[in-house]
A and B are shown apart, each in its own frame.
Chain A
Amino acid sequence: MQLRNPWHDFDWVLFGAILTLSAISVVEIYSATLYGQEHSAAFRQLIWIGIGTVLLFIVAAMDYHIISEQIPWLYLAGIGVLLYTLALGRMVSGSRSWIVIGPMRFQPSEFVKIIVVIAIARYLSELREVRYLSLEQIIKASLICGIPIVLVALQPDLGTTITFLPILGVGLLIRGMKPIMLIVLVLIFLLALPLSWPFLAQHQRDRITNFVNPEQDLKGSGYQVNQSKIAIGSGGALGKGVFKGSQNKLGFLPTRHTDFILSVVGEELGFAGVAVTLGLLGFILFRAVYTAQSARDELGLFMVMGVFGIYFFHVVENVGMVIGFMPMTGIPLPFMSYGGSSIMAAFAAMGLVISVRRRRYVN
């Protein structure tokens, strides 16, 4: 369904929320890297946002049905790139999750997530005659999601691996399962958690034991979350002021321009800054829920809810982590954390949401 005017019914409110978050992000990344090694991170983040914006408009202008028709080769291409990454990717801090093209590095898994969203959406939306998913259908859907998961887990990048799961989870929940099936799946998932313990690396186990008992090792693995809480707590209601966070400035905060960017916001802009940030993130997610509900067909609905699943999980995990509510994983905060691949993928995903919204009326 081609819209005559590419600007017709564009979701300027959602786009405005994204840009506002991006602005906070650039300022706080600049603050976080002021005395560190990566002085140019804020500038580079601006470039990623620029490229992301272009991507967002391109995707929003495209009919999501046409994108969905490309899924067989897109999906295969995604698998191919993940295989290439596994074989020839750049090793960064223990996992092979980057590929290098010219002067730039990409994390293909961020983009593959979007492809999986579309693939799952297409599969689920084509099951029209069923009230509840059969076991066979659940397994098929799990395979669509499972192949990339295995490839990412092999890198091994466990944080990113986990972020694939909500795509499947949200899709299955909305598509509908017999209550007994749902209970069995939840039980399997819960049982799988302790079974995965022997496969975890020591630092990952530390993160989990430390999450259960945060005070056990404040100098070792609990250090980062403890410092993050100190930064946020000491920020108070209104913050210490931009560029004035001592935790940030003195380098007490770990990976502060990437995973712990919200700690910098909390320290320098206080509860007010956090409330605005979370409000904007919440608004974006609500906009996705609303868009999904008003989608003209199931394909659009599942696509938007897949995107919702990814970023809902990102927000919950990252925000929960910085205040010690969730165990530590290297999952970035959407639109806030420094990182080219995650920023561009998030903007493209939002383009998908807008594309669905623009075509919500059946004409």
Chain B
Amino acid sequence: MRLRDDIELLRSRIGLMGYLLVAILGVLVFGFWQLQVVQSSHYSELAEKNRIKEIRLVAPRGKIYDRNHKVLADNRPSYNLILIRENSPHTIDETIAMLVNGIGLSREDLLQKINRKGKDPSYQPIVLKEDVGVGDLAYVMAHAYEMPEVSVEYQPRRLYREGRLAAHALGYIAEVTEAQLLDSPNLKPRDQVGKTGLELIYDSILRGVDGSRHVVVNNSGREIETLPDEIPWVAGNDLYTTLDFDLQKAAEDALGDRVGAVVALDPRTGEILVLVSKPAFDPNLFASGISGLDYASLRDNPDTPFQNRAIQSMQPPGSIFKVFEAAAALESEQITPLDRVYCPGSATYYGTRLGCWRPAGHGSVDLYGAIVDSCDVYFYNVGNLLGIDRISQFAKMAGFGRKTGVDLPNEIAGLIPSEEYSRRVKKMAWKPIETIMVAIGQGQIGVTPIQAAYAMGGLATGGRLKQPRLVEPGQLRKLGFESPAVQTDQYQIHESTVDTVTKAMWGVVNDGGTGDSAKVVGFDVAGKTGTAQVVNKSSYKKGSDTEDHAWFLGFAPYRNPEIVVAVIIEHGGHGGIVSAPVARAVLDAYYKKKTGNFNAGTAEKVARLMTPVP
């Protein structure tokens, strides 16, 4: 039968499979025999000293210096307690039970920290406590044998030597978030990265490259040998900023606890000398892992300490805007410096009676007098002649209403209105009376302190606008990083216009004007005070919130200026009384340094004397 013959043949082939099975099983058993009987002692030895563990050698971050090589952001040694679950002879609960007695953390805290990282691979260390003290270190060292899963890890930590000083310029660092990890292939879990300020903008320059070391750990989890394949870390690059510590300190001391901002820069180069925003936070809190409570109290503070007021807060400029108003009017030939306007203490435009800040009136004033005494009626008149579009056109050209391009994150553009803006955004026609308000820097207009300093520098140097910078690009290029050059914008303005306006600003400070408390003997300071009315006063209830914002915008010397200072104190009152002295503290320190008479103690004393007693 055909079927039978066929199946017999197949059966014989199956028999061959059986032999193949015997042969292969024989080889495999031989393999095990070799490992387990012949070479068993060799492998037992390997098991004894097993386990190659990688230890991360954290690279120190580059330091941040001021322009005179004074350290602002430094590093210090610190230790973290870490848990590595992979080898643990204990359950998480057992580990926690053993730790709770020794280190000052509650069961819930520990559990929360572990659970937050619960999905990470088990060889990945979980930080239980950052920046521990000697007591915790001793406890963990003493119990290393019972708790091989808990160990101590070295980590260089950021130290902001001056605490809150220049906090908004420096920014802070913290552990990388998961979103950042996905975005950037260069980052590893647990990296410390810049979150804001210079730390964020120049993160890739400041951050070093971590190294590694392999250690052999025996069965009980103890390190018994270091392998010779250590890869050393490469430190991050140091960053030299344009900030001047002495000036910064003078400004911060002079501002005290008041809410506001100070920006000082060199109009010739755009280098920022001072950048203050108050209230500030202490960036050191983030360096050692800010507690939830500390963070919440900062976040919920109504004075918004995280906001960098120097670049992120726009306020009506008040009378400091009159300087630009005057320049716009001269440039468009609507007025001459000699034109006089009679100020009876008020004027009526479009059916509304508007008062001058001095109810008695200034009498007949020319441009010089109008700026020196900050006459509102004069500038109502100028604003009316110019019209909103000519005002906004000049303001934008002068540097307002757009970002200055400073090397800090999240700068805002401010607001310069125009008829077109009013139609497009507010969906209503521009009212001529609003022009009159804008003419004295009130109403629909917003300026940041850095814009004020930037625009002032441009105007005072004949229309040359230098992009403000905290780090000079050449320095970065030397380190091998790409960095675009400082941007310079030049707009057309007559020398006579610049002369007329700056001369009047000199008068504000030195000729019995509103800004005489900014005077520095020997240093020709020019400036303009501003007092911006707080709108919707009725919506504020508490006392100081109804006060006006106090501005001072000045520069020195008034010929060939070297430094521009912008000061705003929110709800501070009158610019000439509260803000001008702060600017003076900065200018005085600058002048003393320049002439070689500076010592740190004097600056502090001056600041104290100049600060009005509340």
Contact = CB atoms under 8 A, between A and B. Distances in A.
Given A250-B87, A271-B37, A323-B28, A173 B52 contact: no
Interface stretch (A135-143, A227-235, A349-357): A227-235
Interface string B2-20: 1100110111011101100
Interface stretch (B43-51, B328-336, B539-547): B43-51
A173 B19 CA distance: 14
Given A218-B52, A266-B36, A298-B10, A233 B43 contact: yes
Contacts of B37: 236-237, 271
B322 to A, nearest CB: 66
A174 B12 CA distance: 9
B28 A37 contact: no
A249 to B, nearest CB: 7
B97 interface: no
Given A233-B42, A233-B46, A289-B17, A270 B36 contact: yes
B122 interface: yes
Contacts of A250: 50-51, 87, 89, 219, 221
A6 interface: no
A233 B29 contact: no
A293 B35 contact: no
A272 to B, nearest CB: 9
Nearest to B221: A250
B347 to A, nearest CB: 74
Contacts of A293: 11, 14-15
Interface in A235-280: 235-237, 246-247, 249-252, 266, 270-271, 274-275, 278
A289 B47 contact: no
B88 A274 contact: no
A305 interface: yes
A243 to B, nearest CB: 12
Given A247-B47, A293-B14, A320-B28, A286 B21 contact: yes
A247 B10 CA distance: 46
B25 interface: yes
Contacts of B50: 227, 230, 246-247, 250, 252
A116 interface: no
A175 B46 contact: no
Contacts of A233: 35-36, 39-40, 42-44, 46-47
Contacts of A320: 28, 31
Best-buried of A37, A252, A305, A325 by chain B (most CB within 10 Å): A252
Nearest to B50: A252
Contacts of A174: 10, 13-14, 17
A292 interface: yes
B33 interface: yes
B33 A232 contact: no
A203 interface: no
A312 B39 CA distance: 27
A251 B221 CA distance: 11
Contact of A289 (B14, B24, B40): B14
A283 to B, nearest CB: 10
Nearest to B24: A316
Nearest to B28: A319
A134 to B, nearest CB: 16
B21 A312 contact: yes
Interface string B37-78: 101101110110011101000000000000000000000000
Contact of B14 (A35, A235, A247, A292): A292
Given A175-B10, A312-B21, A232 B52 contact: no
A316 B43 CA distance: 23
Contacts of A297: 7
Interface of B is mostly: helix
Interface residues of B, number: 43
B46 A325 contact: no
B49 to A, nearest CB: 10
Contacts of B89: 35, 249-250
A320 B9 CA distance: 31
Nearest to A275: B29
A100 B219 CA distance: 39
B100 interface: no
B8 to A, nearest CB: 10
A232 B346 CA distance: 99
A173 B13 contact: yes
A234 B47 contact: yes
A235 B36 contact: yes
A219 B214 contact: yes
B32 interface: yes
A312 B14 CA distance: 13
B27 interface: yes
A37 B28 CA distance: 31
Interface string A276-312: 0010001001100100110001100100010010001
A301 B7 contact: yes
Contacts of B51: 250, 252
A23 interface: no
A8 interface: no
Given A219-B214, A246-B219, A278-B25, A230 B46 contact: yes
B86 interface: yes
A4 interface: no
A312 B24 CA distance: 10
Nearest to A267: B47
Contacts of B214: 219
Given A270-B36, A286-B21, A298-B7, 5 more contacts: A218-B52, A274-B29, A297-B7, A323-B31, A323-B32
Interface of B: 2-3, 6-7, 9-11, 13-15, 17-18, 21, 24-25, 27-29, 31-33, 35-37, 39-40, 42-44, 46-47, 50-52, 54, 86-89, 122, 214, 219, 221
13 contacts: A174-B14, A219-B214, A232-B43, A234-B46, A236-B37, A246-B219, A252-B51, A286-B18, A289-B14, A293-B14, A301-B11, A323-B32, A325-B31
